[in-house]
Amino acid sequence: MSNLKTYEITPSLLNSWLYMYHCYEGQEENAKSEFLNALNRVHTPTTEAQQAGIDFENKCYAGEITSDTQAIIEIINGGTYQMSARKLIEVDNLNILLYGRLDVIKGDTIYDIKKSMSSKYVAKKYYHTAQQSVYLELFAQARKMIYLFNDLNGETHEEQYNREDIVPASSLISAFLHDLKLRNLYQIFLEKWEVKD
């Protein structure tokens, strides 16, 4: 690889960038602010909704069967939970260290558990997110990724992305880096996301 320095990229960083372009109307300034916080690695406290999601995932991993968790537990049973992975790739002459923590991997499928206390499921809810691109890059043996979304009514919905249908991680990251340059934010990325150790 051409550059000795390495820069980390996480799904959450890419998601905050993508959200600027796909946020709800009226949320543009908030989305931009959240992205700048992510880019600058500003620590933000866990929200109530995020904590509820974490608690829900932990119930699923522990096999605590309730009306909300039962369908998910049946799907993920026998899988490997909370697996971390790193992979070094080259994008636009930069060494990029991809990092991700998968909720569940089982056979050739990655599962990502989502819980909402306030919304119902809508089709292609996760289409404009980076997780499927990054996770399928991290795990070459996986053929697809399925989001398991449990909505405010406790109903579970599946949303599947096959490897051949997603934007490759390298293409997504290249677009991200290009956009940072257009916004005069590229130097911040190089400073804040360089892998130091």
- Right CATH for 6-192 from 3.90.320, 3.30.499, 1.10.3470, 3.40.50: 3.90.320
Spatial contact of 105 and 142, defined as CB atoms under 8 Å apart: yes
pLDDT (tens digit, 0 to 9) for every residue of the chain, 197 residues total? 445 899 999 999 999 999 999 988 899 999 999 999 999 999 989 899 899 999 999 999 999 999 999 999 999 999 999 999 999 999 999 999 999 999 999 999 999 999 998 888 999 999 999 999 999 999 999 999 999 999 999 999 999 999 999 999 999 999 999 999 999 999 999 999 999 87
Domains of the chain, by residue range, sit at 6-192
Strand partners, 85: 100
Q: How far is 44 from 38, CA to CA, in rounded Å?
A: 9
Crossing angle (nearest 10°) for helices 131-138 and 11-22: 150
Q: How far is 42 from 98, CA to CA, in rounded Å?
A: 20
